[in-house]
Amino acid sequence: MLTRFEVAGFKNFKNRIVLDFTDVRDYQFNSNCIKDNLLNKVIVYGKNAVGKSNLGLAIFDIVTHLTNKHVTPDLYDYYINADLDADDIAACAEFRYHFRFGQTNISYIYRKSKNLNSENSKLLYEEVMIDNELLFSHDFISDTTEKSRLATYVPSLNLDFKEKELSLLRYVVSNSRAEDVRPLADLVQFVSRMLWFRSLDENRYIGYKTDVSDYFSFIYENDNLKEFEELLHMAGVNEELIPIENADGKKVLYFKKETPIPFLKTASNGTKALYTIFYWLKTSADAVLIFIDEFDAYYHVELSETIVEMLESNQGFQMILTSHNTNLLSNRIMRPDCYFILTEDELVSFANATSRELREGHNLEKLYLNGEFDV
């Protein structure tokens, strides 16, 4: 699991932003938000333009160079913070990930700059530590590597390697048996099963898959159509759905009417957003970390609560949601150490944003709207 994340110099985050999943309080309610003594379900609030979407992009930057999974184009434009000198080699984005796999802790640190010759970022520095001991570090500018321990770790692997800009971590894992580099292989496998998506305007996503060619067809598999129809009814959309074959013999989803009408052409934005979240939950059963940006932008308050409760019930993945919906700020739904406020300078949980001792009976929404958690 991801235990801590830090980023600086990326997009609007000039200064370091930290998300610490180990900062768990001793609340005796909503323990389903916690797993293995780590925050497992998190909702991030913040004013417009403070970087809630960019936080997700920052966390998922690791996907772009450790895997071949899909990254929606243009999401990583304007990569380096605009207040830094883009022509200065020292102007870079730094990412720090801390993972725990069983009893093993792995820290992965890297720095990137904007590649002036393309739209891609490029690695400047990379470092891996296992249980606080350096495994290797590699400086891509000087092309120098501290790898004495790594050479012992993978003695049969040629470390005078590779394309100049290729991640050393990726090279080691790709060219070794997983059982020989188990904690590193676990890290890369974790990253390959991370998923970021949003459905405000289109089905944008990062990670987990290489394509979504099954986006329109998955609904006809198993009991998916029946389950989705039940979800619609729960959301107050009291319609029946039917598949109809078009002239090409392909099934198309319709609302069942005297004259059927096509679902995806006539459904509301909220209903289509619900289809998207249903798609991802049904087709990414082994995802390990899911970030849903503005997950409830089109949802009624009650439906937002239903979705959060549905996500909370799945302990299989860590979850980060962004939202403006203050109705979700309730100890009935989550707990103060799982609600976060993002500002231009920091990311802080409700539990750390006030000197007040928060209890289960407190009205978090009222406290939030009254400025109790202003940071």
Cα 132 to its chain centre, rounded Å, is 25
Confirm whether 374 is domain-assigned: no
H helix or E strand, kind and range, residue 171: helix 168-174
Q: What is the mean pLDDT of residues 299-316?
A: 89
250 and 190 in a common domain: no
Lowest mean pLDDT, pick from 114-123, 138-147, 160-169: 114-123
Confirm whether 84 is domain-assigned: yes
Confirm whether 375 is domain-assigned: no
Last residue of a domain, one of 253, 283, 313: 283
Q: What size, in residues, is the chain?
A: 375
Q: What is the mean pLDDT of residues 98-124?
A: 85
pLDDT band at 364 (very low <50, low <70, confident <90, very high): very high
Confirm whether 55 is domain-assigned: yes
Domain interval for residue 278: 210-283
Confirm whether 91 is domain-assigned: yes
291 and 354 in a common domain: yes
Last residue of a domain, one of 283, 307, 324: 283
> Does position 161 have pLDDT exceeding 70, yes or no?
no
Q: Is 161 helix (H, G, I), strand (E, B) or coil?
A: coil
Indicate which CATH number applies to the domain containing 353.
3.40.50.300
In the structure encoding, which two tokens stand for residue 343, read together? 């500002």
CA distance 185 to 179: 8
146 and 33 in a common domain: yes
* Residue keyed to tokens 């939950």: 281
pLDDT of residue 198: 87
CA distance 201 to 52: 17
pTM for the whole thing? 0.94
Confirm whether 50 is domain-assigned: yes
Q: What is the mean pLDDT of residues 36-45?
A: 97
> Does position 117 have pLDDT exceeding 90, yes or no?
no
150 and 68 in a common domain: yes
Number of structural domains the chain divides into: 2
CA distance 342 to 200: 20
302 and 259 in a common domain: no
